[in-house]
Structure 1
Amino acid sequence: MAATPITDLLQLPRGERLALAMALWDSLDHEGRSEALPVDPAFCNELDRRWAAHRQNPTAALPWEEVQRQLGLG
Structure 2
Amino acid sequence: MITDFKEIEHSALELDKKRRAELAKRLIKSLDEEIDSDIEQSWIDEVTRRKEEIKSGKVSPLLGEEVHKEARKILKK
TM-score by length of 2: 0.47
More helix by share: 2
Structure ranking higher on relative contact order (CA contacts 8 Å, 6+ apart): 1
